Amino acid sequence: MLNIEHLTKRYGDKKAVDDLSLHIRPGEIFGFIGHNGAGKTTTLKSAVGILQFDEGSISVCGVSVKDDPLTCKRSLAYIPDNPDLYDFMSGIKYLHFVADVFGIRASERAEKIRKYADLFEMTGSLGDPISAYSHGMKQKLSVIAAWLHDPKLIVMDEPFVGLDPKASHLLKEMMREHCDKGGAIFFSTHVLEVAEKLCDKVAIIKQGKLVKVGTMEEVRGDDSLEEVFLELEAK
C-alpha cells in the first residue's frame, strides 16, 4: 500500500530523514515512534506529497508520489499533528469543501457526515465556525474529513493528542475497522501503550535513521515497547 524506499530529506545541511525504507501492507496498522525532531513528521509529510524529498522514492498503491501526486492523494487521507483548519469556515462547510475536492456525491457525503458526526458527538457543533472549536473538536473534524472519501491509506501524525478518552477509543476502533476492510494506517505517536496495543507493526526512528522495524512481537521481544524504545534511545 505504502512503499518508502531509501528516503532522504535534508533541511540545508542537516539530514532530517536518512535513507529510510518502510513498507506498509493492506490491513496493517503501522506505528511510527521516535523522539521529538527524529524525523517522523518529515517522513509522514513526504509520504502524503506535502514535502518534496531529496533522494529515494515513495509510492502509494503502486503510484509514485513524485510522478503522480494527485492520484496518490486521491487514495489517501492525512491528519496533521496540529489541526490548523480554515478558521473562517464552519465545520460543515469544511467537510463539504473536502467532499467537493474528492468528488463525493451529495447523498453519499450527507450519510457519512451524519454517521461520523454523530459518532464523535459533533453534529450540534457543525454549524459553528471552526474558530470557536477546541483543539479536540478540530481534531475530531479532521478525523471525520479524513474518513469521508473511504481512503485506502490513512496517514496520521499524533492523532490522539487533544482527543477525549471516548473519542480516542472510537478512533482506535475506526482504525481497526478500516484495516480489517483492507485499508492501511500509518501513524506516529508518543503514546507507547497505545502503539503497543493497537499496532500490527512498528518502526522506531532516531535522528532520521530507522533503528528498528518489524511486527510488534519482533520489535518488543520479551520486553515492553517502552523498555525497547528507551534502550534504543540510550544507545
Partner 1 sequence: MLKVLLKKQFTEVFKSYFYDAKKNKMRSKGAIIGWFFFFAVIMVGMLGGIFTSLSMSMCGGLTQAGMDWLYFLLQGGIALFLGVFGSVFNTYSGLYLSKDNDLLLSMPIPVRLIMIARLLNVYLMGAMYSAVVLIPALIVYWGTAGATVRNVLCGLLLLLIVTVGVLILSCLLGWVVAKISLKLKNKSYFTVILSLAFFGGYYFVYFKANELIQHLLQNAEMYGEKIKGTAYALYLFGRIGEGSLPCAALFFAVTAILFVLTWLVLSRSFLRIATASVGAGKKRYAEKRVRAKSPYRALLGKEFKRLTSSANYMLNCGLGVLLIPASGVLLLAKGRLFCDVIGQALDGRPDCAPVLICAALCMLSSMNDMAAPSVSLEGRNLWIVQSLPVDPKTALRAKASVQLILTCLPMLFAAVCGAVILPASAAVKALVCVMPLTFAAFFAVFGTVIGVRMPLLNWTNEIVPIKQSGAVMLAMFGGWAFCVVFAGLYLLVGYRFGAAAYLLVWSVLYLAAGGILLRRLDREGSRTFAQLS
Question: Given the rule CB under 8 A, which residues bind partner 1?
Answer: 45, 48-52, 69-71, 73-74, 78, 80, 82, 84-86, 88-93, 96-106, 109-110, 114, 123-129, 131-132
For residues 99 and 203, which CB has a smaller minimum distance to partner 1 in the complex? Answer: 99
What is the C-alpha separation between 176 and 134, in angstroms, rounded?
26
Q: Please state the closest distance from residue 150 (CB atom) to partner 1, in A.
A: 14
Q: Please state the closest distance from residue 169 (CB atom) to partner 1, in A.
A: 24
Q: Please state the closest distance from residue 90 (CB atom) to partner 1, in A.
A: 7
For residues 25 and 114, which CB has a smaller minimum distance to partner 1 in the complex? Answer: 114
Helix or strand run (H / E) with residue 4: strand 2-11
99, 109 contact by CB (below 8 A): yes
For residues 125 and 220, which CB has a smaller minimum distance to partner 1 in the complex? Answer: 125
Task: With CA atoms as reference, report the closest residue to 142 among 127, 158, 69.
Answer: 158
What is the C-alpha separation between 140 and 163, in angstroms, rounded?
7
Q: Which residues pair with 185 in a beta bridge?
A: 29, 154
* Amino acid type, 48: V
Q: Please state the closest distance from residue 119 (CB atom) to partner 1, in A.
A: 15
Long-range contacts of 97-101 (CB under 8 A, 24+ apart): 98/145, 98/148, 98/149, 99/148, 99/149
For residues 106 and 230, which CB has a smaller minimum distance to partner 1 in the complex? Answer: 106
For residues 51 and 161, which CB has a smaller minimum distance to partner 1 in the complex? Answer: 51
What is the C-alpha separation between 207 and 127, in angstroms, rounded?
43
Q: Please state the closest distance from residue 204 (CB atom) to partner 1, in A.
A: 25
For residues 134 and 224, which CB has a smaller minimum distance to partner 1 in the complex? Answer: 134
Helix pair angle (91-102, 135-147), 10° resolution:
30
Q: Please state the closest distance from residue 229 (CB atom) to partner 1, in A.
A: 28
